[in-house]
Amino acid sequence: MSKNNSSDKIFPFGQEIVWQPNPQWMAQSNIQKLMNSLGIDSYDSFYQKSVEDIAWFWDVVMKDLDIEFYEPYSRIVDLSRGIQFPEWCVGGKMNIVHNCLDKWQHTTTQNRVALRWEGEEGSVRLFTYGDLYREVNRCANALRELGLGKGDAIGLYMPMIPELAIAFLAIVKIGGILLPLFSGYGPSAISTRLA
């Protein structure tokens, strides 16, 4: 690209921007809708405010995404130990599975596709939010019946199939700590990680 072309823009990290959405796409984007709701007229202004006041930015994002907490946070971020040691959502309690699945039950979203899996041989499996909710709860209840719960490390050694996502979300739902086990690990590496 020539230096005189007004479309020549450089990404902040030095790379050239290779694609930009057209104005119609921009007008319909979620970020534009958010900027409009905040009365901010340009992306550059929005970006500048986001880096100057990260607490403001992330509080706005959490509210815009409708992230629900069981106990609300008192501060979005505490940087008192330095920016390298942030404490997010101070005092807040939530479970991401609630925001991913549970809150969509009894809404029209429950009928939308949440997970589309395509096998190597071409098979396709679809799970709606409602389907996924039921399967995750079934798996979470099975884990609880095994005596597993909050703080327990649970190893997952599975291929990339829908049941992997179901098991992952079930572990998170019960407060477990996911221990992913890679199929390339040998028996001793797996047993060490599970010990």
Looking at residue 192, what is its pLDDT? 87
Task: Look up residue 134 and give its two tokens.
Answer: 């039921």
Q: Which residue from 128, 138, 147 is spatially nearest to 173, judged by alpha carbons?
A: 138
The mean pLDDT value for 29-34 works out to 96
Looking at residue 5, what is its pLDDT? 42
pLDDT confidence bin for 8, thresholds 50/70/90: low
Give the Cα separation of 183 and 125 in Å (integer).
23
Looking at residue 2, what is its pLDDT? 37
The answer on pLDDT for 185 being more than 90 is no
pLDDT digits (tens, 9 = 90+) for 85-96: 999 999 999 999
Question: Residue ranges per domain, the chain?
Answer: 97-194
The answer for residues whose C-beta is within 8 angstroms of residue 99's C-beta and 6 or more apart is: 66, 67, 68
Question: Using alpha carbons only, what angle is made at residue 151 by residues 184 and 69, rounded to the nearest 5 degrees?
Answer: 110
Q: How many CB atoms lie within 10 A of CB 55?
A: 13
Element (H, E) at 77: strand 75-78
Poorest-confidence range of 4-18, 54-68, 107-121, 157-171? 4-18
pLDDT digits (tens, 9 = 90+) for 95-148: 999 999 999 999 999 999 999 999 999 999 999 999 999 999 999 999 999 999
The answer on pLDDT for 9 being more than 70 is no
Multiple choice CATH, 97-194, 3.40.50.20, 3.40.50.300, 3.80.10.10, 3.40.50.980: 3.40.50.980
The answer on pLDDT for 162 being more than 60 is yes
Looking at residue 10, what is its pLDDT? 61
